[in-house]
């Protein structure tokens, strides 16, 4: 036993050479593990003197029927996620799926800290868009409850259960659409990559550029969140004033696409005549812009329902696949009605 501090599930995982999820399953009897792995983890836990925290001990006699979710962010910055259609639709679908199977479901604030995750008597947690460096995700992993991620953790584990968009296929679908509508050089625009969706989409874009022999043009709006209008407007104006500006752009945030349209109107850049613009659909603004924005629909309701079903399967000890892809859908509108 390590003296001077409480032994946590991370210590057991490190000593046994397995993931936190494997330790959780080995000690709780959940999941499908080789018996030798389960026995080794149990022996290591006993040798270290590991005991579950108070909330986990309260579950020893059975399940609580309580699930939770939260929107992951780097650091402790708050996010008004209930103002964003993507999160509302996703969470609504997860709640509906949970209630249908007899579970209660709570939505935690983005600033929930380690104490919150330690005291709630939870069966499992859905983490939405795991952010690099998110302290809440570390606390949930430390807790050792069943876990499903919507979007992979940039520093995750091989046995993480992940639900995500088919990012590469969706990115390529949108890029090819821009070329079909007359784009000769296509750019991609986003915030700096702090979660896997941005990283995966940009990676797919760079691979697509290599295949076409095109020099990539990646526009990065330096801001703190997907609602940072000032950062998006500054990036949009810089892009439009660039002497090497491409003639088509795929925006990975809908508000960035909206700001780009506004800046183009002010600077006299015609959309779609001089510039084709398309974006991810997340906040419900695309249909009402001038011109309406072409979008890549990411089917957030299916993401939420699928994640909830997988989480409940984990809680109930049923077999689950480690990664589940949800297809995207292209919705062409006037912003890419090029020649």
213-247: pLDDT as tens digits: 999 999 988 765 555 678 888 889 989 998 889 99
Quote the pLDDT of residue 159: 87
Quote the pLDDT of residue 54: 43
In the chain, the percentage of residues whose pLDDT exceeds 70 is 88
**Distance from C-alpha of 107 to C-alpha of 91, rounded to nearest angstrom:** 8
Nearest of 253, 257, 255, 252 to residue 277 by alpha carbon: 257
Quote the pLDDT of residue 61: 45
The CA distances from residue 264 to 103, 241, 276, 288, in Å, are 48, 10, 11, 16
Quote the pLDDT of residue 3: 44
CA 36 to chain centre: 34
Specify the residue for token string 């940039």: 154
Which residues of the chain register pLDDT less than 70? 1-6, 28-31, 51-62, 74-80, 193, 223-228, 338-339
Q: What is the pLDDT of residues 7-41, one digit of tens each?
A: 777 788 889 898 877 887 787 666 677 888 888 88
Residues 6+ apart with CB under 8 A from 92: 301, 304
- Using an 8 Å Cβ cutoff, are 33 and 23 in contact? no
The three-class DSSP label of residue 281 is strand
Strand order of the sheet with strand 186-191? Answer: 218-221, 186-191, 248-251, 276-281, 294-297, 329-331
Quote the pLDDT of residue 6: 61
The three-class DSSP label of residue 135 is helix
Domains and CATH numbers, the chain: 1-51 (1.10.260.40), 58-165+302-326 (3.40.50.2300), 167-298+330-336 (3.40.50.2300)
Extract the tokens encoding 326.
């949800």
Tell me the DSSP string of 203-271: HHHHHHHHHHTPPP-EEEE--SSTT-HHHHHHHHHHHHH-TT--SEEEESSHHHHHHHHHHHHHHT--T
- Using an 8 Å Cβ cutoff, are 293 and 258 in contact? yes
- Using an 8 Å Cβ cutoff, are 149 and 156 in contact? yes
Quote the pLDDT of residue 57: 44
Quote the pLDDT of residue 339: 58
β-partners of residue 163 are: 150, 324
pTM of the model: 0.78
CA 185 to chain centre: 28
């Amino acid at each position: 036993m390590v003296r001077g501090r409480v032994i946590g599930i991370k210590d057991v995982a490190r000593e046994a050479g397995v993931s936190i999820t494997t330790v959780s399953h080995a000690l709780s009897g959940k999941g499908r593990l080789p018996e030798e792995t389960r026995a080794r983890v149990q022996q290591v836990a006993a040798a270290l003197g590991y005991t579950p925290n108070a909330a986990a001990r309260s579950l020893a006699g059975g399940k609580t029927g309580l699930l939770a979710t939260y929107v992951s962010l780097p650091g402790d910055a708050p996010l008004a996620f209930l103002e964003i259609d993507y999160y509302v639709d996703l969470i609504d679908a997860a709640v509906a799926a949970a209630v249908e199977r007899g579970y209660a479901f709570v939505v935690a604030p983005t600033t929930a800290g380690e104490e919150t995750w330690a005291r709630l008597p939870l069966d499992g947690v859905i983490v939405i868009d795991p952010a690099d460096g998110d302290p809440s995700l570390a606390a949930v992993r430390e807790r050792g409850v069943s876990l499903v991620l919507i979007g992979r953790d940039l520093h995750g584990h091989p046995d993480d259960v992940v639900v995500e968009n088919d990012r590469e296929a969706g990115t390529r679908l949108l890029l090819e659409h821009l070329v079909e509508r007359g784009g000769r050089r296509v750019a991609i625009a986003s915030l700096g990559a702090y979660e896997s969706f941005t990283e995966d989409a940009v990676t797919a874009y760079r691979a697509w550029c290599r295949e076409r022999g095109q020099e990539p043009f990646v526009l990065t709006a330096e801001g703190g969140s997907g609602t940072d209008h000032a950062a998006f407007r500054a990036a949009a104006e810089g892009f439009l004033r660039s002497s090497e500006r491409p003639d088509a752009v795929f925006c990975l945030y809908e508000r960035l696409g909206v700001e780009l349209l506004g800046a183009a109107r002010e600077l006299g850049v015609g959309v779609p005549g001089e510039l084709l613009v398309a974006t991810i659909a997340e906040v419900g603004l695309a249909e009402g812009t001038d011109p309406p924005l072409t979008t890549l629909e990411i089917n957030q309701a299916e993401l939420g329902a699928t994640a909830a079903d997988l989480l409940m399967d984990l809680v109930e000890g049923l077999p689950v696949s480690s990664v589940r892809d949800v297809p995207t859908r292209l919705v062409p509108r006037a912003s890419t009605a090029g020649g």
